[in-house]
Amino acid sequence: MQKLHVGQSTSKLVARVIFIGTFLFGLMIAIAIYGSSQFVKLTVSSEYALSTWLTSSAIEQIAPTPLPSPVDLTYAFTWLSLEGVPLHFPLPTQNTKSLFTKALPTISWNNLVAHVTKNISVSSRLTVGWTLDSSNQTVEQALTASPGLSVIAPKCLHVDGINGAIAGSIPKAAVTLAHKKGVQFWAVVDNGFNGPLSHKILAYNDQQNMLIAHLVELAQQSQINGINLDFEGLLPEDRWNFTDFVDKLAAALHAKHMLLSVDLPPDILPGDNTGAYNHRELAKSVNYIVLMGYDEYWGGDQVAGPTASLPWVKQSVQDMLETGVPRAKLILGVPFYTQDWTLNKNDSVLSSVALSLWQTRSILATTHAKQQWNAKLGLHVASFTENGIKHEIWVEDKRSLLLFADLVSEQHLAGAAAWYLGLETESTWRALVDTVHSNIA
């Protein structure tokens, strides 16, 4: 064995270290240049898909909530990392286009959100359809009769007691039917307009937590896309309790890659958002606020009037925007029904009966009702006499509903939701969908 001189060994070792170091440095520079100049394109069809990808890329601690706007786009950015976490995802195969023309030198969660919210051009809006139940038959019929539907939201679960008690179920087969059609499934969770019971739950952290745990468990088991929370008739004193509950429920769902939307009524007095629903704070937590653009006049009111006149709906939308709900999170709920009012000789209300759109069309045809377009209210007012009783119908039809769809487009809202599928006429649904998706920047 040849004996090496210490000085010779040291110099060779230093040379090797320098060589390896130079090689590695060059390799790092090459990777950095490649990474900063090459775009990786990701196509997502919805906010849900984007948030799912983000949270499944081991960055839940960085991105605990989905992006604050509906997304249907191809998003391009450099292959580097988010706060040091490598990005790994499959490349799309079609319908791709670069959102940015220049690579971002560094990527962090904060500047990703900043760039996305600043540069997004929304290419589609949501069309949401509620159904009265979640049976396979109802869901299948709604999916078949509603081309262009983005989200189906069946009434599934009902909070009927304390300690996390929930009635109802989410049929897995119905969820599968929706997903096969490329339609999201949001399970509606309601409180049955029971303010006192809701207070017993919302006023206590342990009650909130039990309900949230049960809801998330059911949602996970059924593999739905999200929950649509319909808590109506809440007591004003539960304003902050409800906000806290929604915040915690949203966080729990987002952690499992699911969405949360909340249905809200219009303020009784526009601009006076002091009731049970804190628009601004709720909007911070949820993916979507669904404004129930109805009922301007309820069945049972002492005065006859429209279910949703255009000025009233416009005012309700503006109120939501001015009290803190971002346009990109606001979905406008529209009615697929109206009221048939019966009046006495003094035009005082005797009774009212709810009518679907197709029932309204049939009644107007068979009674030969007189109809007059009210341009100010944006709807027809029809009247006829039957068995000596005067009837008055403030008609919701394709023409009036398309004005609401125009409003969604003009105000750049997230979409429209219809209460409920099965009440509409085919031509009305198709026209509504087409108009909602028109004029997108």
Phi/psi for 42 (5° steps) reads -125, 125
Tokens representing residue 60 in the block: 């839940």
Residue 123 DSSP code: -
140-171 pLDDT tens trace: 999 999 999 999 999 999 999 999 999 999 99
Mean model confidence pLDDT for the chain? 80
What is the full DSSP assignment across 6-43?
HHHHHHHHHHHHHHHHHHHHHHHHHHHHHHHH-EEEEE
More confident residue, 391 or 51: 391
The band of 14, judged by pLDDT with boundaries at 50, 70 and 90, is low
Please name the CATH architecture into which domain 126-334+405-436 falls.
Alpha-Beta Barrel (3.20)
Whether 18 shows a pLDDT value over 90: the answer reads: no
What's the confidence (pLDDT) of residue 15?
Answer: 59
Cα distance between residue 428 and residue 216, in whole Å: 35
Whether a cis peptide bond, with omega within 30° of 0, leads into 420 is yes
Whether 10 shows a pLDDT value over 90: the answer reads: no
Cα distance between residue 116 and residue 373, in whole Å: 43
Whether 76 shows a pLDDT value over 70: the answer reads: no
Report the 10 Å Cβ neighbour count for 311: 12
More confident residue, 251 or 110: 251
Whether 288 shows a pLDDT value over 50: the answer reads: yes
What's the confidence (pLDDT) of residue 11?
Answer: 58
Tokens representing residue 379 in the block: 């709807």
Tokens representing residue 306 in the block: 């429209």
Whether 406 shows a pLDDT value over 80: the answer reads: yes
The band of 258, judged by pLDDT with boundaries at 50, 70 and 90, is very high
Instruction: Please state, for a pLDDT cut of 70, what percent of the chain lies above it.
Output: 71
48: closest CA among 439, 414, 429?
414
Whether 79 shows a pLDDT value over 50: the answer reads: no
What's the confidence (pLDDT) of residue 124?
Answer: 73
> In the 3-class helix/strand/coil scheme, how is 129-142 assigned residue by residue?
EEECCCCHHHHHHH
Please state at what angle helix 172-180 crosses helix 136-145, rounded to 10 degrees: 20
159-202 pLDDT tens trace: 999 999 999 999 999 999 999 999 999 999 999 999 999 999 99
Length of the chain: 441
Q: Give the residues across from 228 on adjacent strands.
A: 188, 261
Span 271-300, average pLDDT: 95
109: closest CA among 143, 70, 59, 149?
59
The band of 118, judged by pLDDT with boundaries at 50, 70 and 90, is very low
Cα distance between residue 370 and residue 378, in whole Å: 17
What's the confidence (pLDDT) of residue 88?
Answer: 34
Tokens representing residue 22 in the block: 């130079």
The band of 300, judged by pLDDT with boundaries at 50, 70 and 90, is confident
Q: Give the domain ranges of the chain.
A: 27-119, 126-334+405-436
Contact 225, 23 (CB under 8 A): no
